[in-house]
Every structure is written in C-alpha cells, then in structure tokens.
Amino acid sequence: MNFFLIRTAYSILLTVFSPILLVSLLKRKEGKPSVGKRWSEYFGGTPSLKGHKPIWIHTVSVGETIAATPLIRAIKEEYPQQDILITTTTTTGAEQASKLDDIAEHRYMPVDFSWCVKRFLKVTKPKCMLIMETELWPNTLTAVSKAEIPVAVINARLSERSCLRYQKFQSVFNLISQSLDMVLCQHNDDAERFTRLGLLSSKTAVAGSLKFDISISESVETEGKVLRKQLGTDRPVWIAASTHEGEDEIIYKAHQQLLKTIPDALLIMVPRHPERFSTVAKLGGELGLYVVSRTDKSEVTTDVQVYLGDTMGEMLTLISASDICFMAGSLIGDKVGGHNMLEPAALGKPILNGPSFFNFKDITQQLIEEKALTICESDKEISDNLIRLFKDPSSCSEMGQNAFQVVERNQGAVARTIDALESIVSAK
C-alpha cells in the first residue's frame, strides 16, 4: 500500500471523526478556559506573528508544556535573537503557554488536514519544528517536510505497547518516519523501539528526560509555606495529585480509613481535569467528608478534612504544602498509565503510586529501587502506608530525600537536547 493511499484513507477517517474532536476542543466546560474567538486557529486561520522564522515547538497540553518550559527558556538564553512559537492543542495547554509570553508567542495547533497545516505554515514560516514527546500527525508531518522544514521529536518516548501497536500498522509508521529528521529519546529502551520499527539509527539519539530538569522556584517554596500555614502546620497533610474518574472514591475511602487512626489528617484533593472539580467536591460531601475548595477562600479550620485544589497551574505549590504525595492516574487499570512523579520527587516528598505506571516505567522503577516510592494496590494499602509514614517522620524524610536524589542524578537533558539540536536550530 503506497503512501498516497495511506494518507487518503487516513484523511477520510479524520474527516469522519474530526467533528467529535472539535466538539471536545471547542465545547465550554466548567473550570476549563475557553477558545473564544480563536477557534479559527484550529483550521489554520493563524494571526500573523510578531517574530520572524520562529522555532516552532508543539507541546499539546499542560503536562508537555510544563516539561518543555526549561528547554524553551534555555533555547532563548542560548539564542536570544531567535523567535519562538509554541502550539498547543488544548486550551489548558494554551493557558500554561501564556506563562512564557515574555519569550514566545502561542497559537493553537491546526487540525491534521493538509489544507489547515498549509495555511498555518504560510503565515508562521517556521525554521524548524520540535515536537514534544510523540505527537505524530501524518498530514502535518508530510506538509512540514514538503515545505523543507526540519522536524525533530524531543523528549521522545515509545512504550512497548505503543511499539507493538505501530507494528500492526507498519505502513503508517513508515509514512510518519520518513518526515522525521531527528528523534531525541528519553531512554535507551525508547531508542531501541524506534529503530526496531525501522527508523534509521542515525536519526535517533538518547538525551534523557527533560522532565528530570525540573527546577523549583523560590516562589513555589514560599507559596507552599504560606499555604501550609493556612492548612495547619502541625497537622499531617497528604495530596492526591491528578485524580481521574474512578479514582476519587478510592482516595476518599483511603482518607476515611486514615482519619480513624489520625483524626486531624488533611487530604489535598486535585482532580486532573478542571471540569471535574465540582463533581469531586460533591462526592466528598456525599461520603460524609468536610470539603473546602481553594477558590472558596474559606478558612481551613481543624474540622476540614479535604482541601480541594480547584485551580490550574498550582500543582507544585499544593505538593510543596503537603507531607506525602500520592500520584494518581495509576489506580484505574491501563486507562491512563500514571502521571509524572518527578514534581513531588524534586520537592523531596515521599511518593505513593498505584499499580499502573506504564507511561513512566523507567522513572518509577528508579524511584522504587531507591526506596523513594511505594506501590499501593488498594485504598487500604494507601491508608496503611500513610499511617506508617506519618507515624515515622524519619522514614518519611528519608524517603523524600531519596526521591530528590533520583531527580538530581538524572538531570542534564536540557543541555544534551540543545547540543543535539544545534544543526537545526542555528541554521539560517
């Protein structure tokens, strides 16, 4: 099956399913930023840029934008005259990208129709495209490649499951890979899987994970201390970060069990998606827990049992204010595959995690081996480990220090990535 037929078949499927995608992106949801008048950007209707021949960095959503931030700032520092363009698919990603508006412009990523991408390229005229992780869209890559714009995938990861899926559609991967000039992988395993799929080894390199190069600002630590004072300096505080539907009740049950032994314990509950804030708060109340939301600005008295983190962009502050972090997205089988636990590790917090972590297998294994992270299979195991750590402060502190050392040992990916990208980024 030749590439033309593959792209034609793919474009037909995209035409059928794109309305569903667009409704999801454009629909107004409680707690979610609105696209507003910028909806035409999804169709390539991109306003003119202030800059000229920018480095185009696509970061999809919030997590990827946060992870790419140290690299984006490092690129600007290395090439101060170079303009930078960030694209995201989601509005929450756009909100996160706005925090970089001192050094970069933001636009929404056009839908993967060739005509949309061509309209976008005609206005933006990027010198190169850097794709964060593995957001590989066939028509976009083909259009960018035909425009003779170099394409590099940065912080690339490819799980065994994704590799096997691509192998079932090898011709699709072949179409994608012919447009890639460079793939900078997080780990050796990722690079091996890309080459197994047929990507030339000369196009792959291992630069490490950009997520390890997280730096905690003084403002985060200060804000964390201020929040902790509001929550109660002397009471035990744990956080359930980035919960998904199906996990909230498990977390609440674990907290209820914890309260039987440690009655003054406080849970900071942080749903992954803003549209779920009110639902999660309501569920806590229905289970008999006293819930106060961060946006309520209510006083957190000693009888408050749950503090709902219903804001965006404050996860580091919320983790900083806690003693122990449970990283969610890991309790609902293979639906999510876990979330990045490096933020609590960089803050020196002991980490609890569910049994599903295939998206962060290497990081998780390192943290387990260094006795910085404990896997919990159920609400009872979560509560048992919380009780154990709260009753043994020295063990809690040691576990957090171990986590910090794992992060420190793996840093340097930003510098290695910039070095590897020099031929693309510095080209005239």
- Dump pLDDT digits (tens) for 169-223: 898 899 899 999 999 999 899 999 999 999 999 999 999 989 889 888 899 999 9
Q: Would you call 64 a catalytic residue per the annotation?
A: yes
**Which amino acid would we find at residue 125?**
K
Evaluate whether 351 touches 374 at the Cβ level (below 8 Å).
yes
Burial zone of 263 (CB within 10 Å; 0-12 exposed, 13-18 middle, 19+ buried): exposed
One of 64, 95, 105, 247 is an active-site residue; which one?
A: 64
Which pLDDT value is given to residue 33?
80
Confidence of residue 20 (pLDDT cuts 50, 70, 90): confident
Closest to 115 in 3D by CA, of 141, 143, 148 = 143
| Number of neighbours of residue 317 by Cβ within 10 angstroms | 21
Q: What is the pLDDT of residues 321-360, one digit of tens each?
A: 999 999 999 999 878 888 889 999 999 999 999 999 987 8
**Which amino acid would we find at residue 280?**
V
Per-position b or e across 218-240, b if 16+ CB within 10 A of its CB: eebeebbeebbeebbeebbbbbb
CA distances from 59 to 50, 218, 365, 396 (A): 20, 25, 26, 35
Residue 30 pLDDT exceeds 70: no
**Average model confidence (pLDDT) for the chain?**
93
- Least confident piece of the model among 61-65, 104-108, 180-184, 241-245: 61-65
What are the structural domains of the chain? 27-208+412-425 (3.40.50.11720), 218-409 (3.40.50.2000)
Evaluate whether 49 touches 395 at the Cβ level (below 8 Å).
no
Residue 421 pLDDT exceeds 60: yes
